[in-house]
Structure 1
Amino acid sequence: MLPDPFSTPCLQVVFRPDLGQLTGRWLRSVTEAELHAGYGALREAALHHGCGHWLIDSRRRTNRSLNGPEWVTTAFLPEVQRALGAPLNVCFLVLPDYLQSLPAAHQGPAPGSLVQFARFVDEGAANAWLAART
């Protein structure tokens, strides 16, 4: 599958019309500016394709700050959901040690929120979670 024109040097973006899914794969660890640029590219791709189902593979981003996940889940994703005007379902693929290190407050959204996200270490489980929300 060819990368979307929204891809950046740090993030490969692919839209899967057969699945109705936008996939973003981080290619390496990034700076804060690159993080914001990559998520901005995902936002533009989502608006272009009208897609509210995302799989974000963060397993290659090994140097993370704990404020990155908070910004993504509390500020960025709600803004994208409002811009889309539809529910937003996002699954993050992460390394097992990273998942275990997250404080409980970062584990998931409030039930019934228009933004739903979950973190997985297995891509099959992540895709199953997304498929259950279509």
Structure 2
Amino acid sequence: MQDFGLEITPRPDLPAIVARWQREITESELQHGYLGILAAGDALGCWRWLLDLRRRDELASPALAAWVNAEFFPRLRHRYAAPVRIAFLISPLRAATGQSASSVAAISATPRPEQDFQTALFTDEATAYRWLAIDP
């Protein structure tokens, strides 16, 4: 599936959904892409997601941060048989230069033990897959 500059690929062998942005996108496209990933997760009953951010610049704004925290993350709670696990894959250069406080990757990597989902940042895809494979 490709929409909003995003390619969503089910990987039943992992099992996970892999979402790769293929181009630069707008904040609206990012929001629609996240909802597309959620729809794919629902259709497949898959709660393990790898989001590959390496081919696009990081989007950062207070409005987007508010949407992720107030609109998107709350939709993940108690949605599947296990807590959602989201691995964010970023480039080593982006990791070395850091993330702004309102970037999606930084917001998503913030530990939230009270929530029913887990997120982590990775620069290596194999390591991200290993983390996704951990049973809850």
TM-score by length of 1: 0.80
2:23 aligns with 28
2:89 aligns with 93
1:3 aligns with none
RMSD: 2.5
1:130 aligns with 132
SS state at 1:83 partner: coil
Higher RCO (C-alpha under 8 Å, 6+ residues apart)? 2
SS state at 1:22 partner: strand
| 2:11 alignment partner, one of 8, 16, 29 | 16
Q: Take 1:13 and 1:47, find their aligned partners in 2: how far apart are those partners?
A: 13
- In structure 2, runs of 5+ residues without a counterpart are none
* Identity score, percent: 34
SS state at 1:28 partner: coil
Is it true that 1:46 corresponds to 2:48 in the alignment? no
1:78 aligns with 74
TM-score by length of 2: 0.79
| Displacement of 1:23 | 0.7
Relative to 1, partners in 2 of residues 1:9 and 1:74: Cα closer, same or farther, differing over 3 Å? closer
For the Cα contact (< 8 Å) 2:83–2:117, is it kept in 1?
yes
Relative to 1, partners in 2 of residues 1:7 and 1:90: Cα closer, same or farther, differing over 3 Å? same
SS state at 1:72 partner: helix
2:121 aligns with 119
